[in-house]
A and B are shown apart, each in its own frame.
Chain A
Amino acid sequence: MTVSGRDGKAGQDVLRRVGEASVLILISLADGPKHGYALIQDIKELAGVELGPGTLYGALDRLERLGLIDALPADDRRHPYRITAPGAAALRVHLDSLERVSAAGRLRLRLGGI
């Protein structure tokens, strides 16, 4: 996995195919570890997206398999998750890519006079 690049040119955008839920989870974990319920609440506030619990666990498992997040030791019955260094790098690459696409879209809208 090559996610070391900060500018998105050196690193491959591994998050392109993981789905929106996974990206939102990584964004939510970027400011510190959270467990499932906290993730759902945070993502609802952050993006207005109500993540279903089934979707949440599917995305968490996928991200963990990819090495982008880590499960911390259980606190009561809840497993907090934290973003890993490759996860943070992958998120940076993905957000940079989204920014470039967003800038290009805005520019084209301006040029088109819409």
Chain B
Amino acid sequence: MPAAGGQVSDGPRASRVVGTVLRCYPARWRRRHGEEAAELAALLIRDGTPAGSIAWSYLAGAAREWLTPRPVRRLSTVACALLVAACSLGVSAGLLASAAPARAASTSQARGHTPGRAHCRPGSPEPVPGVTPAVSRPQVIIWEAGHGRSC
């Protein structure tokens, strides 16, 4: 590999070994340091540093690079976690909000409860006094006395 300061004395084999090891780094690292790292290796080999020790150093560096969490990755993980938490909170709040009128309806109907009669009649046009019908809200399953009924 031609170096800035001259030819590499250890030949192309050393450059190939170092080049192979440099491919172990993440692409982001290679874009940033790849060319410079190859040139640095060539200069060090020219100065008499064994190619094996350079390759080993780069290999250890590549392992560290993969294993060390990046701040951006950490930030995005935190952002994702916050987003998921916010979404689940929103869904829970929505479910609670839609469950409350349905529960109220169930309670008010239970006052005039007739055994064997369904509390909820899907599609029933009868308005329940004091309860706003949950139009376009998620379907809620009310469990009562061990039987699930869909309203």
Contacts and interface: CB of A to CB of B under 8 A. Distances in A.
Interface of A: 35-37, 40, 50, 52-58, 61, 65, 74, 76-79
A54 B36 contact: no
B71 A54 contact: no
A57 B62 CA distance: 10
Contacts, number: 58
Nearest to A74: B36
Given A37-B40, A77-B36, 13 more contacts: A36-B40, A50-B49, A53-B37, A53-B54, A53-B57, A53-B61, A54-B56, A56-B40, A57-B37, A58-B65, A77-B39, A78-B4, A78-B36
B61 A78 contact: no
Chain A binding site: helix, strand, loop or mixed by DSSP?
helix
Nearest to A51: B57
Contacts of B65: 58
A52 B58 CA distance: 8
Contacts of A58: 61, 64-65
Interface in B27-44: 29, 33, 35-37, 39-41, 43-44
B59 interface: yes
Contacts of B139: none
Nearest to A52: B57
